[in-house]
Amino acid sequence: MGRKLTGRLIVATHNLGKLREIRELVAPHGVDAVSAGDLGLPEPEETGTTFLANARLKAEAAAMAAKLPALADDSGICVAALDGAPGIYSARWGGPKKDFAAAMEKIEAELRERDCFEPQQRRAWFVSALSLVWPDGHVEEIEGRIDGTLVWPPRGDKGFGYDPMFLPDGHTRTFGEMTSEEKHGIPADGSQALSHRARAFQILEKSCF
């Protein structure tokens, strides 16, 4: 059984794009979401070897520091032809300045080095691990995934990170070309959401919101 969340929630991220999406996801539940950055909480070093481990690390640090429940996301893009890279190191591929335009160029260069030009050679998937931690140590966590293909050049100026080069299966527009609601809005009829983060949250909300 999950534990219901009420009152205030720390969103354990300093990533403004991620913060915006998580706030939009929790908004229908009347939760007061405040970011770790707003509270001046430091970003812990991500030393985990999996998305879930890093998400829990961030959520635990925020929950213990603020004495409030904390929700953290660790997410990234995995490219089949690059043996799953950049994976948990997706943010680091953007360098100290989190330059995702450069990170996308790096992925494209790696694919070209491997002569990966056809769609079937450019398969990729986004992963989002959500960890919700209470100050007493109780943890609820889930992982979501969306598969697709990488396009070049990148398309669209919406979203953030690698969104402009990711074309989800069954769609003709990249995440970078979709509105926030199209990308991660949870359908009212209960059908599966589109984005990796929304898919993970859709499962988490059934037990915690």
Q: Which residues are catalytic?
A: 74
C-alpha 127/C-alpha 76 separation (Å) is 6
Q: ω into residue 187 within 30 of 0, thus cis?
A: no
Give the β-pairing of 139-150 and 123-133: antiparallel
Which residues pair with residue 131 across a beta bridge? 72, 141
Number of neighbours of residue 10 by Cβ within 10 angstroms: 25
**Token digits for 48?**
């985990």
Torsion sign, CA atoms 108, 112, 118, 124: negative
